[in-house]
């Protein structure tokens, strides 16, 4: 774990962000590097054999009927809906009997690994809890005002709010608070919620998923049990396993690869870096921006949301197909805070929390052709249910969990949890609001592959025609396939510890709870060039990677599970429960 003092030493900058526990001084001489960066050659294969184990659950396995892997909005909504259906069946004399439903969450407490903007469409809450009113839900204030700005380096121009981004009827919220609330509801319905238990692998029998195996804990750096706190892996048997891992779920990736399930386009991702600020000047509206500090060739924008009169959420989201290998999202956010639009609210305030995560952005054409199989369903961000042009995903995740629960309930009643028995889940999603919305805006994000201004024109055409034009799919490549260029080394901004912060200090603000001597959980390719190392150092918002001359140094305990580099390079794998950030209000 990084223990930061709150300020950088004199001379430190965003181009030299080595965590202080390494003592490594990094070389950043651009003259020793070639101009282009190719990531695919250095990207290791997905370790499918680790995530899919052809073994039965052990003799001490915990028997479950249904296991949800991931305690986020999708997994918890699904568990609640399934528990309610089982309860109703029992009360009406149904034959299903009592169900054992488990939710396994890798964070030590629910909500600690969840991060979003967030402005939430409450429709999924109404569907899940029709007996409750809007005031009962874990949402903050409704959106009453909103503004969109085009930024230049020192100024801003207010532009009309695009129709897809209008938030009338939506609510500002903290996803951490949403998840904790859903967790309490789930437990009240008898769901077994197990925080601190990441899942290491799926257990299979032939082509069927029959359970899961958790990640061992208390291991030393070399992977051996370390003292009395060591805990071996635990098996859970399940008739159905639901993967609700969130973005870049390794089990979901491995299962889709194993089953040969593809999508029309590869999935693409963005990286969002977010801060929470205690402020003295209240913000009265939801704010989104485009333009500076991003180039016209880089997709993304910023947000600023009022969580309370004295609390603001601020963030920058950037597509991971950006062309400059030296671009640094965390550094750009620090620079952005000096802009008058943001500085007006942040001056004299305090940054109280920091975090980052990746977001699936491919949309309709990047959703796998099926999200179910023999004994398994995939829900939420793991399936790619995010609509970028409206900046929405939470309610789609919850809706998908609900739809999975309904099909699982029917499958259990019929004692058929095969691929055929669970096929109604994918069909239900395909005919639901989730895929209807994604289809209507299917090319919206993809249009920006040609740059900001061309993307704006195409997005306008799509909006006017209701998505009818262009008729054809815009074909894209995965983020890792893009050849980048090493841009010029920019002027160094020295963080002051008041408005701007180093990566080391940011990780401290994330509440990182990882042991310093934890085993390595990042799988790195054998052939990492200095150019790739340079890009990884800038890409990672938490300072996990450093280029040291021609080598790559990995500070794995800094990792906050954003999975940005998992998109293009080193693979993220589960580590012992409770590792990573400890978000409270993200």
3-class SS shares of the chain: helix, strand, coil, % to 5: 30, 20, 50
Mean pLDDT of the 48-74 span: 97
**pLDDT of 412 over the 50 cut:** yes
285 lies in a domain? no
Domain assignment present for 126: yes
What are the distances in angstroms from CA 496 to CA 14, 223, 312, 334, 385?
A: 12, 39, 20, 10, 39
> Same domain for 433 and 453?
no
**Mean pLDDT, the chain, integer:** 92
Least confident of 27-36, 487-496, 501-510: 27-36
Do 457 and 410 lie in one domain? The reply is no
- Would you say residue 393 lies in a domain? yes
Q: Mind listing the pLDDT tens digit for each residue in 130-160?
A: 999 999 999 999 999 999 999 999 999 999 9
pTM score:
0.93
Question: Are 434 and 461 in the same domain?
Answer: no
Residue 22, domain member (yes or no): no
Query: What is the spatial distance between Cα 92 and Cα 410, in angstroms, rounded to a whole number?
Result: 15
The stretch 204-213 carries a mean pLDDT of 98
Q: For residue 39, is it within any domain?
A: no
Overall number of domains in the chain: 2
Q: Is the CB of residue 106 less than 8 Å from the CB of residue 217?
A: no
pLDDT at 141: 97
pLDDT at residue 32, rounded to an integer: 58
**HSE-up (13 A, CA, CB side) for residue 330:** 29
Element (H, E) at 274: strand 269-278
Mean predicted confidence (pLDDT) in 250-278: 98
Per-residue pLDDT at 12 = 37
Identify the pLDDT of residue 432. 98
Q: Are strands 376-378 and 240-243 parallel, antiparallel or unpaired?
A: parallel
Query: Average pLDDT, stretch 404-428?
Result: 98
d(CA 313, CA 165): 18
Per residue in 75-134, pLDDT tens? 999 999 999 999 999 999 998 999 999 999 999 999 999 999 999 999 999 999 999 999
pLDDT at 516 > cutoff 60: yes
Residue 330: what pLDDT?
A: 98
pLDDT at 305: 98
CB 178 within 8 A of CB 227: no
Give me the domain span that covers residue 411.
48-142+167-265+363-440
Tell me: do 404 and 467 sit in the same domain.
Answer: no
Over residues 277-304, the mean pLDDT reads 97
The rounded distance, in Å, linking the Cα atoms of 246 and 73 is 9
CATH (domain of 260): 3.50.50.60
pLDDT tens-place string over residues 448-472:
877 777 778 877 777 777 777 777 8
- Count of all residues that appear for the chain in the document: 586
């Amino acid at each position: 774990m990084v223990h930061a003092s709150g300020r950088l030493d004199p001379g430190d900058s965003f181009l030299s962000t080595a965590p202080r526990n390494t003592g490594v001084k990094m070389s950043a001489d651009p003259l020793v590097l070639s101009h282009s960066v190719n990531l695919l050659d250095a990207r290791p294969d997905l370790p499918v054999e680790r995530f899919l184990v052809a073994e039965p659950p052990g003799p001490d396995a915990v028997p479950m009927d249904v296991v949800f892997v991931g305690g986020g909005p999708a997994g918890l909504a699904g568990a609640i809906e399934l528990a309610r259906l089982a309860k109703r069946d029992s009360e009406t004399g149904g034959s299903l009997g009592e169900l054992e439903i488990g939710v396994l969450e890798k964070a030590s407490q629910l909500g600690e690994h969840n991060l979003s903007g967030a402005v939430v469409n409450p429709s999924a809450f109404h569907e899940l809890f029709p007996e409750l009113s809007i005031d009962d839900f874990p949402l903050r204030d409704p959106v009453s005002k909103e503004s969109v700005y085009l930024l230049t380096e020192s100024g801003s121009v207010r532009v009309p709010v695009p129709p897809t981004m209008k938030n009338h009827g939506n609510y500002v919220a903290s996803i951490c608070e949403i998840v904790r609330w859903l967790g309490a509801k789930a437990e009240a319905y008898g769901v077994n919620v197990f925080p601190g238990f990441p899942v290491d692998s799926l257990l299979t029998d032939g082509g069927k998923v029959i359970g899961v195996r958790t990640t061992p804990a208390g291991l030393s750096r070399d992977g051996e049990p370390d003292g009395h706190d060591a805990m071996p892996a635990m098996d859970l048997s399940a008739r159905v396993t639901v993967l609700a891992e969130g973005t870049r779920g390794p089990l979901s990736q491995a299962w889709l690869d194993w089953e040969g399930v593809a999508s029309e386009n590869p999935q693409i991702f963005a990286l969002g870096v977010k801060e929470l600020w205690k402020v003295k000047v209240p913000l009265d509206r939801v704010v989104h921006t485009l333009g500076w500090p991003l180039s016209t060739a880089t997709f993304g924008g910023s947000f600023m949301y009022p969580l309370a009169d004295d609390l603001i959420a601020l963030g920058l989201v950037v597509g991971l197909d950006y062309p400059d290998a030296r671009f640094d999202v965390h550094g750009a956010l620090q620079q952005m805070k000096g802009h008058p639009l943001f500085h007006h609210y942040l001056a004299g305030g305090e940054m109280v929390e920091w975090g980052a995560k990746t977001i699936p952005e491919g949309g309709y054409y990047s959703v796998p052709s099926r999200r179910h199989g023999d004994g398994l369903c995939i829900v939420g961000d793991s399936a790619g249910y995010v609509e970028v042009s409206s900046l929405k995903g939470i309610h789609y995740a919850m809706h998908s969990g609900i739809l999975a629960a309904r099909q699982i309930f029917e499958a259990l009643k019929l004692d058929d949890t095969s691929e055929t028995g669970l096929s109604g889940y994918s069909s239900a999603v395909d005919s639901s609001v989730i895929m209807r919305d994604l289809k209507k805006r299917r090319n919206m994000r993809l249009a920006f592959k040609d740059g900001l201004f061309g993307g704006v024109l195409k997005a306008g055409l799509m909006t006017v025609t209701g998505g009818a034009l262009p008729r054809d799919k815009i074909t894209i490549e995965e983020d890792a396939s893009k050849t980048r260029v090493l841009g010029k080394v920019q002027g160094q901004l020295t963080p002051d510890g008041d408005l701007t912060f180093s990566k080391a200090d940011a990780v401290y603000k994330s509440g990182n709870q990882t042991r310093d001597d934890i085993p390595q959980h990042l799988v790195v390719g054998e052939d990492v060039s200095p150019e790739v190392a340079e890009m990884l150092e800038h890409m990672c918002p938490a300072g996990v990677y450093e280029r040291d001359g021609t080598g790559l140094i990995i500070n794995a305990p800094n990792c906050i599970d954003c999975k940005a580099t998992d998109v293009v390079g080193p693979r993220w794998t589960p580590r012992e429960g409770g590792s990573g950030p400890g978000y409270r209000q993200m």
